[in-house]
Each structure stands twice: as structure tokens, then as C-alpha cells.
Amino acid sequence: MILKDSHQTRKRKLILKTVGIALAVLFALVMFSSTYVVGAGERAVIYNSLGHGVHPEPVGEGLHFKVPFFSTATTYDVRENLYKTSATSASRDLQEVSTAVAVRYAPEPEWTPWIHQNFGESYASKIIAPGVQESVKSATAQYNAEELITKRPMVKLTIIEALRERLAKQHIILQEMDITDFQFSESFDAAIEAKVTAEQRALEEKNRLEQIRHQAEQRVVQAQAEADAVLIGAEADANRTRMINEQLSVSPLYLRYLWITTWNGELPRFLGGDDVSMLYGIPEEP
């Protein structure tokens, strides 16, 4: 009898222990499923499967409670997000072009329930990607292929204006968009390369001709300077001769003055007579 009571006691303890563990696990599950945390820069969207559906108001940052098992909380990052995609389109001159863009965007926080209900968590691929495709096609059709490169800032603004309008209708804020690359057909790339090469050669030829012209001008200037120097020298000699003649006509003794100023100090050697002036025919002073 005593053994039987002991066995019953152990059995009851085991049952109570099992029930206690089950209740603890159930309590932990209830607590876990009834609480959720919304991080910094996030909004939570609550969906209730009991018939209430998506709650129209988003939940802000912090620790929150919800109906366990029947409610789910989906968080959305409402800070700046980055989405990269590419779009294939045609330019105004019908050149095929692939445009790679990087879009910086953020969902409007108060509209996250609407976004969740209509597009779900993958809303970026459902809203931004098609918006980029349409905006790029609309923009590139306004420019020639070459202008897409030379007028890149204007092309960017055209795409941004169209994309911002499209995203705003779906409550997405476009913060910035960058064109990361343009890809053209191989034939167009070859044509551009040939044009650049031709322009480079033309520039080199222009520079060479300019150098030749400059050298020719230098030679002309040098020749003119030499001619001017010869002319000035000739004029100086003529003036000197004229002045000597004028002085000789006024005073024959001027020739003796010139002889004295140019004499090197040595007397010439000659035969006959003691008068030095007879060699040059310089008259003596009276």
C-alpha cells in the first residue's frame, strides 16, 4: 500500500512538472508573439488575421504589444534606401542605349500601411523599377545619342523630374538619382571612337600648322629686323659722309682733325722731304 502511494505521488509530480513546463513554454510563446520592437528609422505595419486586416496607422519606434498568434508586424525602413537598376531605350536618332541608374529613395512613413497592402515588402522592385524604365525611355527619346553624353546633367534632370512625379503617386520620396553608366551599341561606340580620333588628328594638324605659321612669322620679323639694321647702317654712313663733306666745304682743316683722331701714334715711313703732311695732302696751318 505504501509503495502504491509512493508511485502515485511520483506520477502526480511528473504530471505537474510536465504541465508546468508546458505552461512556461506557452507563456514564453505568448509573450514572444505579443511583443515586437520597431528600430530607429523604421515603421511597423500591423496585420490582424481575425478580420481587421492591415491597420491603417503605422507604428513608430520602440517596444510594442500586439494580439498574439493572430497579428503580425512587418517593419519598413523609412530612411534613405538605395536601388540600382538599368533601362534599355532608344535615343532620338534611334540609337539603342542602356542606362544604369542608382536611385536613393524613402517611403513616406505615414503611407507604409498603404504601400504594404498594395505592394508588399518588395515594393521597390514593383514601383521604382518600372518608374525608372518609363522615365528613362521618356528622357532619352528627347536627345540624340551623342547628346546623352555631352548633355548628361540635362539628361539627369529630365529623368529625375519624370521619376519624381511617378514615385510621388505611389508615396515614394525620390531623394536623388545618379546615372552611373551609358552603354551603346558596338557600331555606335566604333563611330564615336573614329570621330574622336579624327578630331584629335585635326587638332594635331592645326597645332602643327600654327607652329609653322609662328616660325614663318618669326623669320619674317628677323628678316625685317636685319633689313632695318642694314638700312639704319646705310643711313648712318650716308649721314656721316654728308657731315664730313659739309665740314670739309667749310674748313679744309677738318680733314687734319679726322687724321689726328684716327692716328695710331706711328709715323708713316716715306722717301723724300720732311713734311709729313705731303703724304696725305693735308694743308699746313697758316
- Answer with the one of 76, 101, 135 that is the final residue of a domain: 76
Residue 208 domain-assigned? yes
Query: Would you say residue 271 lies in a domain?
Result: no
| pTM (predicted TM-score) | 0.58
pLDDT at 183: 84
Give yes or no: residues 111 and 175 share one domain: yes
Which residue in 139, 177, 137, 131 sits closest to 155, CA to CA?
139
CB 35 within 8 A of CB 73: no
Name the residue with cell 503611407: 111
Q: Is residue 18 part of a domain?
A: yes
DSSP string, 227-249: HHHHHHHHHHHHHHHHHHHHHHH
Confidence band for 279, pLDDT divided at 50, 70 and 90: very low
- Boundary residue ending a domain (137, 152, 184): 184
270 belongs to a structural domain: no
CA-based nearest residue to 137, from 127, 149, 148, 146 = 148
Alpha helix (H) residue ranges in 69-185: 112-118, 123-140, 145-150, 152-169
- Domain that includes residue 285, residue range: 186-265+276-286
What's the CATH number where 144 sits? 3.30.479.30
Q: Band of the pLDDT at 255, cuts 50, 70, 90?
A: low
Summarised one tens digit per residue, pLDDT across range 19-66 is: 777 777 766 666 666 788 899 999 999 999 887 889 999 999 998 888
Q: Identity (one letter) of the amino acid at 215?
A: Q
pLDDT of 232: 85
The residue among 141, 156, 184 that closes a domain is 184
148 and 135 assigned to the same domain: yes
Number of domains in the chain: 3
What integer best gives the mean pLDDT of the chain?
81
The 10s digit of each residue's pLDDT in 136-168 is 999 999 998 888 888 999 999 999 999 999 999
Mean pLDDT on 72-93: 92
Same domain, 123 and 141: yes
Q: Which residues contact 235 (CB under 8 A, 6 or more apart)?
A: none
Q: Residue 129: pLDDT band by 50, 70, 90 thresholds? A: very high
Nearest to 172 by CA among 106, 85, 124: 106
In the chain, the percentage of residues whose pLDDT exceeds 70 is 76
**In the structure grid, which three cell numbers stand for residue 198, read together?**
579624327
Closest CA to 159 of 182, 183, 180, 139: 139
Who wins on pLDDT, 218 or 109? 109
What is the pLDDT at residue 22?
75
Q: Same structural domain for residues 190 and 180? A: no
Q: How confident is the model at residue 238, as a pLDDT? A: 80
Concatenating the DSSP letter of every residue in 7-50 gives: HHHHHHHHHHHHHHHHHHHHHHHHHHHHEEEE-TTEEEEEEETT
